[in-house]
Amino acid sequence: MEENKRDTTEEKILAAAQSVFIRKGMDGTRMKEIADEAGINKALLHYYFRSKQKLFEAIFNKAFAQILPDIINMVDSEKTFIEKLNIFIDNYFDLLMKNPFLPGFIIKEINRDSDLIVSVFKKQGINPSIFLEVAKQEMEKGKIRKMDPRELIINILAMCIFPFAARPLIEIIFFNNDEKAYQDFLIQRKNNVKEFVLKSINEAWVN
C-alpha cells in the first residue's frame, strides 16, 4: 500500500513538473509552482526530487525508458539494416506520439543549456556513433548508397520531430485546427517517413 502511494505521488509530481516546464521553461519554473500544480507541499516535493534538474532528468528518463531497451536490443540483434531502420522509426515515432511535448521542450532547452540536454541523453545510453558505424558498414558492403551517415540520422530525426515541434502551426494551416485529422495524419506519416527514408538510401531508386 505504501509503495503504491509513493508511486502515485511521484507520478503526480512528474505530470505537474512536465506541465509547468512546458509553460515556463526550465529557467522560469519554480519548485513551489510544481508543488502547487501537484497539490502537495514543497517539503514533500523536495523529499522526492531535490532539484529542478532532478525532475527534468526524471521526465526524460520516464519518456525514453519506454523505447530505449527496444532500441538497444534492436541495434544488437541480427536483423538487417533495413529492418533496424524500420524498428527505429516505429519506436521513435511512437515515443513522440505518447510524448508530443518533447520536441518543442527539447528545442527550447537546447537553446538555453545544450550541455544539460547532452548530459541527459548520455545518461540514457543514447550513443549515435553505434548507428553511424553500422550505416558505414552497410555502405562499404554496397547495400545502401554512400552518403554521410550523419545526414541519414539527422534526416530521420527531422522528419519525425518537425510535425510535433511545429504542431500548432501545421494544425492551423493544413488541418483547420481539426485535431482528429491531424492525429490521423501523424499515424500515416510514420509509414510515409519509413518509405521515404528507405527509398533515399536505395542505390537503384536514386539512380
Instruction: For the chain, list the domains and their CATH numbers.
Output: 1-60 (1.10.10.60), 66-206 (1.10.357.10)
Q: Which three cell numbers stand for residue 187?
A: 499515424
Alpha carbon distance 21, 29 (integer Å): 6
What is the pLDDT averaged over residues 20-31?
A: 85
Alpha carbon distance 138, 143 (integer Å): 5
Cβ atoms 138, 132 nearer than 8 A: no
CA angle, 85 then 89 then 95, to 5°: 145
Quote the pTM value.
0.75
Please indicate whether residue 49 or residue 23 has the higher confidence score (pLDDT). Answer: 49
What is the pLDDT averaged over residues 120-127?
A: 71
CA 117 to chain centre: 12
